[in-house]
């Protein structure tokens, strides 16, 4: 169980004073690990992407590791982070106060995060490895050392939404700001992005005020160093409640665990709304997940399902993408138990094929001008049977291009022949490539006049064999798709 308390705690009468002074100034467990400072992030000038302070694009390739701090040892967490770094991931999404009884079930070292479910009393013990928060410090430091930022949820949504032991949510507008101030100050110098929410709807004014209070506390605690977003319930968006809030730097959707395009077309809806802010799908269908939570009728998702979600989201305007595996988010093992019948244990699930294939989407988009890319389906010629092309359900074609018309791409989810208006490329000719989203390999298929539409059929056509058609202006000197990063 938890080691005896040997540090300060907040009492209700001190809340206002401690918030005003800054909680770390009063001695609350400062991180001890050597820090690797990653470049800070900001929203791009056109409000569509994230960039570093120096203006370089940032590709959010995320992984959902919700139970990372709660269910893994330091060694297991390091194994996980090294695996994700080697696969090109730039973000892991994890929760400080975790969903699976994170306030009452200790972590692997017997530590709980709070005294008596009280956000005003984080359980902190002097020394580098003596409490729950020391473990969080260590894991974040290991992520940052590998170039990975942590998209850090201060708390899962159940603790501001659902009644807990006393019949009330753990968080309210009063204590949420204080806790936000504390955790914001503790991690102000780490490579993180703040994520509020946590898979719940905002149903009333008190919940809305609680979220806004925590955002205010985070801004006070970290001095505005880190971006903030909101992780919604399945099918929802941060923009549903908070689009115009100044603290919401970009929108996160949860398109959820369906395999059909109608779930993902909402990314384009968010992209088109006002005020303009970057958009991201923070939880699409996981690999190895019961499709629509209905394994008896629909089975479990495969790599093809997560690839389709990836390219649909990106080509509809998302600035990056989050992958997930049903066994990895919960760190399913003999020690940890399971939720919703995962079928592969951690760490074997780390090398599921879809996880390794995510990097090819990143490499593809980074091999062309990144900050000028827009969604555009207009150059895909509709078939007389429109459900064939541009398609429907699991077989929806989508397109993207840059604003200057120097390149364009079509995601081809199944092997149906299709036509493209080559005039989307503003040059007399276009060089065409097939790009394999399973391997990251590109093959040139010729140079064509842009004066007329042209029919294409993917190599090895088949229902589960997706491809990307890439069209380039030959005069721009672009490298083979996915081969190297094009400079911003």
Please report which confidence band the pLDDT of residue 34 belongs to, taking 50, 70 and 90 as the band edges: low
> Mean pLDDT in the chain?
93
Lowest mean pLDDT among 29-38, 67-76, 184-193: 29-38
pLDDT, position 136: 98
Please report which confidence band the pLDDT of residue 351 belongs to, taking 50, 70 and 90 as the band edges: very high
| Neighbour tally for 387: CB within 10 Å | 11
Q: Give pTM, 2 decimals.
A: 0.93
pLDDT, position 6: 30
pLDDT, position 18: 34
The model's pLDDT over 108-150, given as tens digits with 9 standing for 90+, comes to 999 999 999 999 999 999 998 999 999 999 999 999 999 999 9
pLDDT mean over 224-232: 98
The model's pLDDT over 447-462, given as tens digits with 9 standing for 90+, comes to 999 999 999 999 988 8
Task: Select from 279, 273, 196, 270 the least CA-distant residue to 233.
Answer: 196
pLDDT, position 1: 34
pLDDT, position 16: 33
Q: What are phi and psi of 398, to 5 degrees?
A: -140, 155
pLDDT mean over 234-254: 98
Instruction: Give the position of tokens 């997706």.
Output: 466
The model's pLDDT over 41-68, given as tens digits with 9 standing for 90+, comes to 999 999 999 999 999 999 999 999 999 9
pLDDT, position 2: 34
Please report which confidence band the pLDDT of residue 165 belongs to, taking 50, 70 and 90 as the band edges: confident
In contact, 18 and 178? CB cutoff 8 Å: yes
pLDDT, position 37: 86
Which structural domains are found in the chain, ordered by start?
Answer: 29-366 (3.20.20.80), 373-476 (2.60.40)
Strands 192-197 and 228-231: parallel
Please report which confidence band the pLDDT of residue 483 belongs to, taking 50, 70 and 90 as the band edges: very high
């Amino acid at each position: 169980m938890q080691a005896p308390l040997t540090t300060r705690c907040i009492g209700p009468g001190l809340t206002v004073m401690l918030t005003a002074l800054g909680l770390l100034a009063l001695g609350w467990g400062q991180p001890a690990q050597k820090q690797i400072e990653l470049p800070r992030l900001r929203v791009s000038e056109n409000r569509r992407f994230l960039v570093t302070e120096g203006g370089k694009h940032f590709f959010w390739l995320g992984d959902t590791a919700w139970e990372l701090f709660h269910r893994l040892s330091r060694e297991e967490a390091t194994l996980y982070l090294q695996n994700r770094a080697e696969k090109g991931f730039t973000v892991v999404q994890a929760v400080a106060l975790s969903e699976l009884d994170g306030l009452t079930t200790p972590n692997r070292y017997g530590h709980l995060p709070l005294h008596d479910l009280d956000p005003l009393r984080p359980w902190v013990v002097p020394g580098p490895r003596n409490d729950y928060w020391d473990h969080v410090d260590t894991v974040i430091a290991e992520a940052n050392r590998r170039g990975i930022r942590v998209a850090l949820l201060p708390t899962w949504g159940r603790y501001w939404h659902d009644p807990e032991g006393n019949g009330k949510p753990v968080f309210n507008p009063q204590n949420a700001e204080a806790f936000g101030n504390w955790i914001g100050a503790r991690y102000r110098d780490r490579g993180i992005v703040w994520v509020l929410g946590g898979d719940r709807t905002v149903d009333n004014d008190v919940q809305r005020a609680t979220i806004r209070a925590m955002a205010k506390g985070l801004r006070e605690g970290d001095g505005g160093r880190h971006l903030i977003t909101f992780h919604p319930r399945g099918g929802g968006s941060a923009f549903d409640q908070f689009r115009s809030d100044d603290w919401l730097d970009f929108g996160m959707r949860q398109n959820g665990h369906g395999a059909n395009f109608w779930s993902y077309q909402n990314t384009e809806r968010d992209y088109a709304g006002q005020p303009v802010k970057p958009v991201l799908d923070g939880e699409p269908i996981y690999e190895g997940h019961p499709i629509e939570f209905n394994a008896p009728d629909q089975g479990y998702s495969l790599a093809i399902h997560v690839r389709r979600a990836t390219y649909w989201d990106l080509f509809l305007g998302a600035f990056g993408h989050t992958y997930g595996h049903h066994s990895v988010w919960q760190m399913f093992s003999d020690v940890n138990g399971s939720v919703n019948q995962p079928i592969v244990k951690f760490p074997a699930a780390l090398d599921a094929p879809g996880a390794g294939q995510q990097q090819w989407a990143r490499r593809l988009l980074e091999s062309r001008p990144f900050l000028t890319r827009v969604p555009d389906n207009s150059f895909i010629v509709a078939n007389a049977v429109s459900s064939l092309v541009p398609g429907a359900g699991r077989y929806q074609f989508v397109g993207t291009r840059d604003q200057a018309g120097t390149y364009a791409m079509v995601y081809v989810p199944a092997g149906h022949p299709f036509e493209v208006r080559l005039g989307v490329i503003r040059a007399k000719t276009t060089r065409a490539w097939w790009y394999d989203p399973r391997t990251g390999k590109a093959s040139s298929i010729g140079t064509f006049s842009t004066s007329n539409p042209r029919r294409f059929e993917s190599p090895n056509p088949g229902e589960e064999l997706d491809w990307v058609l890439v069209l380039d202006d030959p005069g721009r000197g672009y490298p083979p798709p996915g081969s190297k990063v094009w400079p911003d």
